[in-house]
Amino acid sequence: MFTKILLCVILIASILVPGGYYLFSEKKKGNFKAALGFNILFFFGTLIIGDILLFSGNIQAAETAKAASSTEGWRYLAAALSTGLSCVGAGIAVASAASSALGALSEDSSIMGKALIFVALAESIALYGLIISFTILG
């Protein structure tokens, strides 16, 4: 438990210290690259050390219900993929629909209702994926 807390503190410090150094320094042009390099080095270094410390142990698989666990795994994988991919698709659709709607609204403000409908239709793609996930898991 102490190891996890220590790793969290180091990760937070590796993000805050370079940011504070960059914000309060006088010469900002050269310090940004130094702060970013410091941040990346300590962040990924702490993640690697954390993986080594937290996942170094004996792993034993359960011997009972192997057939049920394999089908459960596929169900969870299918649910995760349906939710994840539908959310990615919804993000792409909302990005293009919302930017187009804002451009159209800047020219003619009377089409706000139509623009909101298109953005809502794009957002509903993520909800459809979530419903499919609940159907798979239920």
Token digits of residue 48: 């690697």
- In sequence order, the 6+-apart residues with CB closer than 8 A to the CB of 108 are none
Instruction: Single out the residue of 48, 43, 41, 49 nearest to residue 11, CA to CA.
Output: 43
Do 112 and 105 touch, CB atoms closer than 8 A?
yes
Q: DSSP string covering 39-107, please? A: HHHHHHHHHHHHHHHHS-S------S-HHHHHHHHHHHHHHHHHHHHHHHHHHHHHHHHHHHHHHHHHH
Q: Give the whole-angstrom CA distance, residue 134 versus residue 82.
A: 10
Which residue ranges make up each domain of the chain? 2-54, 80-137
What is the structure's pLDDT at 27? 66
Looking at the whole model, is its pTM more than 0.85?
Answer: no
Sequential pLDDT tens for the chain (138 residues): 677 777 777 777 777 776 676 667 666 666 677 777 777 777 787 778 777 777 766 656 555 555 556 677 788 888 999 999 999 999 999 998 888 888 988 898 888 888 888 888 888 988 999 999 999 888
